[in-house]
Structure 1
Amino acid sequence: MDDLLIARTLFGTTMGFHIIFATIGVGLPLMILTAELLYQKTKDIDYVVMAKRWTKTFAILLGVGIPTGTIAAVQLSLLWPGFMEVIGRVMPLPFQIEIYAFFIEALFMSIYVYAADRIAPWMRIVSLTLVAIGALASAVLITNVHAFQGTPAGFRFENGEIVDVDPWAAFFNPSFYVTAKHVATSAYVVGAFVVGSVAAFKMLRSEYGTKIYKFHQKALMLTLIVGGIFAFSTAINGHESAQYLHKYQPEKLAAAEGLFETQSHAPLAIGGFTDRETQEVKWGIEIPGLLSFLAGDSFDTVVKGLNDYPEELWPPLFVHTLFNIMVGIGSLLIVISIFGVVWKKIMKKDRFPKLFLWTLVAAGPLAIIAMECGWITACSGRQPWVIYRLMSTAEASTTASNLGILIASFSFMYAILGTAVVAVLLYYFKKNKVEDDLRRAEEKYVPLYGSNS
């Protein structure tokens, strides 16, 4: 491996691990807030127990998300000094504002964790709302740097110097809004279905009709509704993303769809893999004209192919496979949500089929895989540029060598951290069972507010 590939691998390993915790850390506060809102409306203590248990999970995951995020920030400076020179002068606003977003998130989460039972209901809602806003803002602000990499704005290079700097123009770069929406909706999908995986597994392990079974069933229905809404929203946003790529990063769109020849009525390739030699998508299914329609709302839209660009500027062709995995899983999650809601709310059937529950157990990990595939597609699809058509990844990289040992060291550390966080979660919830939390909640809340559970 050359030094550039090693640097990319090292940073990619860090981000691939960190982003799991960061994404769940955005999605889970919305689930907590939704459960708390339902409790305030219905006085069903099941929902307040859900909120509190999910809060404990959030706190544990935050304990890993914060240090891995710090490692990612340090590696940005050490591995990509050329890139950070531009960011420091042109795009400092997201990093500066993110500090305040994280402060709000941490402050009001502390209030909810330690003072929820001593403050008014409306203050509990306000606290959780600010936690959710702070978590989302942190993700959107950091992701805005990625948006800037794809659609740089607010500066220009002149004789190798950075001139005409406008930080706000850089901040509100052309892909800011579409990227922010995609990050938000996909994080909420991951957060919801991770919760749903646990609820489905617990339902399989519980006796049908018991109090514990019904508790997890309520959590599962909340997952299906919230996750389904945002999975559908992510699909809609995907259409916007295709149009933005068509306009600003046509090479990435062509690579994601395995399109080599510029054409109108361009087909959408589903599945298969891209063969560089034959310049076709093998084993895929082509839907005539659909790519042109997605790119420009018309079947006559001309979509540029990879052959319009020098081969050394092509993104890696494996992004087609990763893109299809992301879209395929996203579509599956929409189908799962619709089936679950129809089964329970329309057909009025109380007991889900075991096969459906096992599918839901897999849905959480699948949602994480889809998210990872999406990020790899987004970042690798921009290659060989770190700032699109302005700075190559090689120009931005460190000149340091002998980085291979760091990949092994950090990978080993992440394996330990991943194992530790799973072990802590299992230990905590084994010691703090749902039935015990429900009993304590009944003793505390029913005398005050009553219960509809």
Structure 2
Amino acid sequence: MDSVLLSRMLFGTSMAFHIIFATLGVGVTLMIFFAELMHWIRKDRDYGVMAKRWTKGFAILLGVAIPSGTIVGVMLSLLWPGFMEIVGKVIAVPFQIEIFAFFLEAVFMSIYVYAADRLSSLMRIISVAIVAFGASSSAVLINIAHSWMNTPAGFQLTEGRVTDVDPWAAVLNASMPVTSKHVLATAYMTGAFVLVSIAAYRLLRKASSAAERTYHKKGLMLALAVALLASIYTAANGHDTAKMLHNEMPLKLAAAEGLFETQASAPLAIMGIPDPEQEAVVGGIEIPGMLSWLATGSTDGVVQGLNDFPQEEWPPLFVHTLFNLMVGIGFSLIGIAGFALLWSIFFRKRGFPAWLLILLIATGPLSMLGIEFGWIFSCVARQPWTIYGIQLTSNAATQSGNIGILFFLFITLYIVLLVLTILVLKYFFSRNPLQRELTVSNGEAF
């Protein structure tokens, strides 16, 4: 394999690993905030215990998120020197501000955890709100650099030299508002669904006491409500994303939908496989005019197809499958969460049946897969560009050797870290059973 492909594989694997912990770091902190808020409003100690246990789990995840994020940062410099040469001159601002966002998150997380017994409920809410704000800010600031890669702005490239740099124009690039909202919504959705999975699993396993079952039901309903709202907003944001792609990256939109010919009333192709020879999506289901409506707001709108662009600039057409899997998972999650909440309203006394709890357990892994598919789609569908229309991936990557060895070493490291994380979580919560905390905790202190 050449160094470019190996660099992409190594960096992509590192991002795929880190994004799990980074996403949960954003979503779970919001859920901790809501648990503290419910504890304050209802004076219900179950929510206080909930916030405490979720915080302990988050702290363990954070212990992996920080070093894995550091590895990603180092790899940017080692694997993509051509890219970093431009980034350092144009889009360094969000990276610099992100340091302060992380500092804010770390300081108030320490206050929230270690000074909890000295803080009132209101002050704990304020502390964890700042933690959630810092985590969300970090996600947005990192996403700004990613969005800039898709819609670069704020500089000129003249004979290979970066000129006319406007850092704030780079920060406020065309795709930044839409993608930042999407990143936050999906993180909140994923964090909530992971907690839904855990609560549903404990209910399916028949928690040992009535107090535990009540606790898990409360956690399940709180997480379900947040997950449903966030997933609905994520779907609504998809309409804005389609408009942005239509205006800024029409080739990416065409590849996502397997649209070959520019046309009005363009159909939305669901599943199937794009076939360049037939210039059609084979085996898919088409909804007439839907793609035009998503992209332009009108079913008669004209959408550009792949054939309007040089074939050597086409991204791999399997991005159509990635896009469909991402969207399919998103709508499945909306359906499961919505149905479960309706069930709880109309059949409150019957509780959740086993088959519905199994579906709810699946929502956490499905949401994580949706995150992975979404990030892979976003990056692969930009190929062959690292900075869209400006810098080819082949010009951004290192030409150094031995990347293959590094790839296998880091794959091994990530597997070990993942296994250790699972074991530490299992060990911690087995040593700190819920029943004991419900019995001795007054919900006010960690």
In structure 2, C-alpha distance between the alignment counterparts of 1:350 and 1:406, rounded to whole Å? 54
Q: CA deviation at 1:348?
A: 3.2
Deviations 1:121-174 (A, max 9, x none): 221111001000000000110111010001111001112211110001101111
**What does residue 214 of structure 1 align with?**
214
Residue 48 of structure 1 corresponds to which residue in structure 2?
Answer: 48
2:379 matched residue in structure 1: 379
Residue in structure 2 matched with residue 398 of structure 1 by the alignment: 398
Residues 153 and 169 in structure 2, CA contact (< 8 A), matched pair in contact too: yes
Q: For residue 274 of structure 1, what is the aligned residue in structure 2?
A: 274
- Taking only aligned residues, the RMSD between alpha carbons, in angstroms, comes to 1.3
What is the DSSP-based 3-state SS (H/G/I as helix, E as strand, rest coil) of the residue aligned with 1:223? helix
Match for residue 262 of structure 1?
262
After superposition, give the CA deviation of every residue in 1:12-68 in whole Å (9 maximum; x if it has no partner): 000000000000000000000000000000011110111000000110000000001
CA distance in 1, matches of 2:258, 2:141: 31
3-state SS in 1 of match to 2:115: helix
| Aligned residue number for residue 428 of structure 1 | 428
How many angstroms does 1:445 deviate by? 5.3
Aligned to 1:317, the other structure's residue is in SS state coil
> Does the 8 Å contact 2:196/2:360 carry over to 1?
yes
For 1:269, what is the secondary structure of its paired residue? strand
Q: Secondary structure at the match of 1:55?
A: helix
- Counterpart of 2:190? 190
Identity of aligned residues (%): 55
Query: In the TM superposition, what whole-angstrom CA distance separates every residue of 1:279-311 from its partner, at most 9, and x where no partner exists?
Result: 221221100000000000001211111111111
Tell me what 2:83 maps to: 83
- Code of the residue aligned with 2:293 in structure 1: it is F
1:296 aligns with 2:333: no
- Matched residue, 2:412: 412
Deviates more, 1:374-383 or 1:115-124: 115-124
Deviation by residue 1:359-393 (Cα, 9 ceiling, x = unmatched) = 11111011000000000000001101111101111
Q: For 1:150-299, what aligned pairs fall within 5 Å after superposition?
A: 150-207=150-207, 210-299=210-299
Partner Cα separation in structure 2 for residue 283 and residue 274 of structure 1: 9
Amino acid at match of 1:412: T
Contact persistence 2:202–2:216 (CA under 8 A): yes
Q: Which moved more, 1:336-345 or 1:40-49?
A: 336-345
Q: For residue 31 of structure 2, give the secondary structure of its aligned residue in structure 1.
A: helix
Structure 1 CA distance, aligned partners of 2:54 and 2:211?
A: 19
Is the CA contact 2:3–2:401 (under 8 Å) kept in the aligned structure 1?
yes
Counterpart secondary structure, 2:302: coil
Aligned partner of residue 407 in structure 1, secondary structure: helix
Question: What displacement does 1:349 show?
Answer: 4.0
Does 1:60 pair with 2:60?
Answer: yes
In 1, are the aligned partners of 2:264 and 2:303 still within 8 Å (CA)? yes
Q: State the SS of the aligned residue for 2:281.
A: strand
* Separation (CA, whole Å) in 2 of partners of 1:72 and 1:276: 35
Query: Which position in structure 2 is the counterpart of 1:135?
Result: 135
- In structure 2, what is the Cα distance between the partners aligned to 1:336 and 1:208? 26
In structure 1, how many angstroms separate the alpha carbons of the residues matched to 2:24 and 2:207?
29
Once residues 209 and 439 of structure 1 are traced to their aligned partners in structure 2, the CA distance between those partners, rounded to angstroms, is: 11
Superposition deviation, residue 350 in structure 1: 4.2
Letter in 1 for 2:64: V
Q: What is aligned with 2:149?
A: 149
Alpha-carbon shift at residue 213 of structure 1 (Å):
1.1
Once structures 1 and 2 are overlaid, which stretch shifts more, 346-355 or 319-328?
A: 346-355
Q: Are 1:327 and 2:327 an aligned pair?
A: yes
Give the residue type in structure 1 aligned to 2:48: V
Normalising to structure 1: TM-score of the pair?
Answer: 0.96
Contact 2:36 2:121 in 1 (8 A): no
Specify every segment of 5 or more residues in structure 1 that has no aligned partner in the other structure, as ranges: 447-453
Q: Match for 2:387: what amino acid? A: I
Q: Is the 8 A contact 2:116 2:444 kept in 1?
A: no
The aligned amino acid for 2:254 is A
Deviations 1:181-221 (A, max 9, x none): 00000000110001111100000112598211111111111
TM norm structure 2: 0.98
Is residue 121–residue 444 contact of structure 2 (8 Å, CA) maintained in 1?
no
C-alpha deviation, 1:342, in angstroms: 0.9
Whole-angstrom distance in 2 between the partners of 1:188 and 1:405: 36
In the TM superposition, residue 402 of structure 1 has moved relative to its aligned partner by: 2.5
**How many residues are treated as equivalent by the alignment?**
445
- Counterpart Cα distance in 2 of 1:350 and 1:36: 28
Contact 1:206 1:212 in 2 (8 A): no
> Aligned in 2, Cα 1:262/1:445: closer, same or farther, shift over 3 Å?
closer
CA distance in 2, matches of 1:427, 1:130: 29
